[in-house]
Chain A
Amino acid sequence: MSRDTDAVFKALADPSRRKLLDLLNAHDGQTLSQLCDHHDMTRQAVTQHLGVLESAGLVVTQWRGREKLHFLNPVPLQEIYDRWIRKFERSRLKAMHDLKRRLEGTHDG
């Protein structure tokens, strides 16, 4: 699991790869050629970036007829969110909830 998480963070640590994820998020299930149309990179560079994203589990490919389509797989991001982010968010939400209760309590009283 920690090795997978490292791969996800490494994959995200590059603006070109983040842009590819954004392109798939806007329109999922694209061919390599479609992705290259939106990118000022060589086809080889896009292929390499997609390879890194695929190894990290952030991109999944499926053949549909004669086309190989790339899909954004947000599940590893969800796992990072559940493991790392929600924990911190929860304490912030609790603080806001406590504040709201205190303010409302004052108002009522």
Chain B
Amino acid sequence: MGKSSFVYVIYIASTPEMVWKALLDGEFTRQYWGHDNVSDWRPGSTWEHRRSDETRALRLVGEVLESQPPHRLVITWADPKDTANRDRHSRVAFDIERVGNGVRLTVTHDDLETGSGMERGIREGWPRVLSSLKSLLETGNPLDTWAK
């Protein structure tokens, strides 16, 4: 089966440090994403994407490949049922650059199985997550995309 790549770019009136924190810190992610990203964020460590509600349901797992705060984070990304099946792990790179008075955040999602449910999910998910992240950092209010 073929693999697909997607690239998402958003400009945010903020600092690289804030955007880095907002991607990893549950205090922020639960507001605009409805999930916590749990890890010590050291290369080689695992990370988990869990519902922020009381279920703490495990939604994604992966490994930290690269971590250069506050500019670049690379992780693998998989459905928990595919933990042992490396062929089905995709890869996400977050690049955070200062541009003018703001930040350019680029999310590059590679090695997605073409036509898979994961591919459909991330194509719907990333634009909403990033738009909500921007709203939270710029206005203090996330979008209510995840509230329903």
Partner-B contacts on A (CB < 8 A): 4, 28-29, 57, 60, 62, 69, 71, 73-75, 77-79, 82
Contact = CB atoms under 8 A, between A and B. Distances in A.
Contact of A62 (B108, B126, B128, B134): B108
A71 B6 CA distance: 7
Contacts of A69: 5
B102 to A, nearest CB: 11
Nearest to B8: A75
Interface residues on B, range: 10 to 19
A87 to B, nearest CB: 11
A75 B108 contact: no
18 contacts: A4-B11, A28-B4, A28-B6, A29-B4, A57-B9, A57-B11, A62-B108, A69-B5, A73-B7, A73-B9, A75-B8, A75-B9, A75-B10, A75-B126, A75-B130, A75-B131, A78-B127, A78-B131
Mostly, the A contact residues are mixed
A69 B11 CA distance: 21
Interface of B: 4-11, 106, 108, 126-128, 130-131, 134-135, 143
A74 B134 CA distance: 14
Mostly, the B contact residues are strand
Given A60-B106, A62-B108, A82-B143, A71 B131 contact: no
A30 to B, nearest CB: 11
A15 to B, nearest CB: 23
Nearest to A78: B127
Contacts of B131: 75, 78-79, 82
Interface centre among B6, B7, B128 (most CB of A within 10 A): B7
Contacts of A75: 8-10, 126-127, 130-131
A78 B130 contact: yes
Given A75-B127, A75-B131, A62 B7 contact: yes
A106 to B, nearest CB: 26
B127 A77 contact: yes
Given A4-B11, A75-B9, A75-B130, 4 more contacts: A60-B7, A62-B7, A75-B10, A79-B134
